Amino acid sequence: METSAELLAQTIGARVKNERKKHEWTLDQFAELAGISRRMLVNVEQGTANPSVSILLKLSDALGLGLPALVEPPEARRSRITRAGDGATLWTGPNGGRGVLMAGTDAPEVVELWDWSLAPGERHQSEAHAEGTRELLHLLKGSLAVEVDGQIHELKAGDAMSFHGDTAHSYSNTHKTTATFSLCVYEPGVGHAHKSEITHVK
């Protein structure tokens, strides 16, 4: 029986492959455009990879879709509901922490809503996102250290912060209890950076 992680990987793979073919890009062309290796792209499309959030962002941006569109089937409805337990788990920590994408808007102005938990001793490192990305974080339980562009901010339960996500940043839990937080990510103009490249790729 397939696990939810395997089903998610297959859903993402099928969506990436379908969108790539819509653009009539070869594997090599799309891998170059997205800035990832051909091997990784093949593994993603086959549903055998466990790509990082960074890889998924590169793929979604190159396709002009936004990350939420990769993990859920396209729908015509104006309203979408993600039931408890049905979010897309796109990061898992070594001690049981999770990063779950709960909801998102369509491109080009993409807003993502995440549900995060970091178990004691866990750290999630994030590369700089696309220019203009902004993040809002609300710590619900525990304690959390958020490092943005080399500066560390210590948060306690109930604290919130906003920061630029287009620079390197990380979340760390150095305490003895699990930290849980909501994260909202705004990515403006998804796909725009690649529009000038598309004519050269075809």
- 4-75+191-201 placed in CATH 1.10.260.40: yes
pLDDT tens-digit profile of 4-20?
788 888 889 998 999 99
pLDDT value of position 51 = 86
pLDDT value of position 177 = 97
Task: Please tell me the distance from the alpha carbon of residue 46 to that of residue 77, in angstroms, as a whole number.
Answer: 28
Query: Is 182 buried (19+), middle (13-18) or exposed (0-12) by CB count in 10 A?
Result: middle
Q: Which residues contact 188 (CB under 8 A, 6 or more apart)?
A: 108, 109, 110, 130, 132, 133
Mean pLDDT, the chain, whole residue set: 88
Residue 137, pLDDT above cutoff 80 = yes
Residue 165, pLDDT above cutoff 90 = yes
pLDDT tens-digit profile of 69-91?
888 766 555 778 888 988 999 99
pLDDT value of position 70 = 84
Backbone angles phi, psi at 118, to 5 degrees: -120, 120
Mean per-residue pLDDT, 145-160:
96
pLDDT tens-digit profile of 24-74?
999 999 999 999 999 999 999 998 888 888 899 899 989 988 888 888 766
CATH-assigned architecture of domain 88-187: Sandwich (2.60)
pLDDT value of position 184 = 98
Alpha-carbon Rg for the chain, nearest whole angstrom, is 17
pLDDT value of position 74 = 60
> Strand locations in 25-178, DSSP E?
88-92, 98-104, 110-118, 123-126, 134-141, 143-148, 151-156, 160-164, 169-172
Task: Please tell me the distance from the alpha carbon of residue 93 to that of residue 125, in angstroms, as a whole number.
Answer: 11
In the chain, where are the structural domains located? Answer: 4-75+191-201, 88-187
pLDDT value of position 200 = 46
Confidence of residue 202 (pLDDT cuts 50, 70, 90): very low
Residue 201, pLDDT above cutoff 60 = no
In one-letter notation, the amino acid at residue 185 is V
Please report where in the chains the tokens 């590169």 appear, as a residue.
Answer: 58
